[in-house]
Amino acid sequence: SAVISQKPSRDICQRGTSLTIQCQVDSQVTMMFWYRQQPGQSLTLIATANQGSEATYESGFVIDKFPISRPNLTFSTLTVSNMSPEDSSIYLCSVAGTYEQYFGPGTRLTVT
Amino acid sequence: QKEVEQNSGPLSVPEGAIASLNCTYSDRGSQSFFWYRQYSGKSPELIMFIYSNGDKEDGRFTAQLNKASQYVSLLIRDSQPSDSATYLCAVNMDSNYQLIWGAGTKLIIKP
């Protein structure tokens, strides 16, 4: 399986600001996913990011709030824009294998 | 609405016993089924996958799939305290590589 890293691992941000989360993979992958996981809850898919095309967002998530870049087959970023305390969560990137997914270590975001 | 359902627990099992975790799914055409383990404060880790009806064993773990009844289960034999975690069931219901996730079952192994 791929080795996936995320930066930052955690951050505390003020409301109204933006944070960009980076996801780096040690091998080329076609599909990457961004998830949010709130405390005690399961995973919620934010968007699917394919290289060379715009990200596909799930219902309830919009590009203005969560812009995603996928400049190459090993890297992606997710920006959380104009943050509010409701955005406090763990943000996870994952990559697709055959049909399974492998996850990065996550970014724990706290918005004050 | 494509759904995957799990009992949220917590499921408490004595050390050394068999832990049985269950998951049902809504889409009869689903083809791929996955179990992930998530320790508190960590990201999900793939522990088992199954594609065909029947049982699949890997060490102390056995995944069971019954497509007719639309359920998949995970058995953990000789449960250890280190097995205490939340177990997430995920199902691939179409060919776009997205997974539909259950809410997770919290498993507690009591020494």
Tokens of A14: 């003020």
Count of CB pairs separated by less than 8 Å, A with B? 42
Report CB contact under 8 Å: B101, A102: no
Report CB contact under 8 Å: B32, A99: yes
Report CB contact under 8 Å: A99, B97: yes
Give the pLDDT score at A90. Answer: 97
Question: Is residue B97 within 8 angstroms of chain A, CB to CB?
Answer: yes
Give the pLDDT score at A33. Answer: 96
Q: Which residue bears the tokens 């812009």? A: A67
For the CA atoms of B45, B5, B65, B2, the dihedral, rounded to the nearest 10 degrees, stands at -100
Cα–Cα distance, A84 to A16 (Å, whole number): 6
Nearest by CB to residue B92, choosing from A33, A99, A102, is A99
Give the pLDDT score at B95. Answer: 64
Cα–Cα distance, A36 to B83 (Å, whole number): 24
Residue type, B20: S
For chain A, the residue count is: 112
Residue B56: pLDDT above 80? yes
Residue B41: pLDDT above 80? yes
A8-47 residue pLDDT tens: 999 999 999 999 999 999 999 989 999 999 988 999 999 9
B58-79 residue pLDDT tens: 999 999 999 999 999 999 999 9
CA dist B85 → A26, A100, B39, B72, B109 (Å): 27, 20, 5, 18, 9
Cα–Cα distance, B44 to A24 (Å, whole number): 17
Nearest by CB to residue A100, choosing from B31, B49, B96, is B49
A56-90 residue pLDDT tens: 999 999 999 999 999 999 999 999 999 999 999 99
**Residue A25: strand, helix, or coil:** strand
Q: What does the DSSP 8-state code read for residue A93? A: E
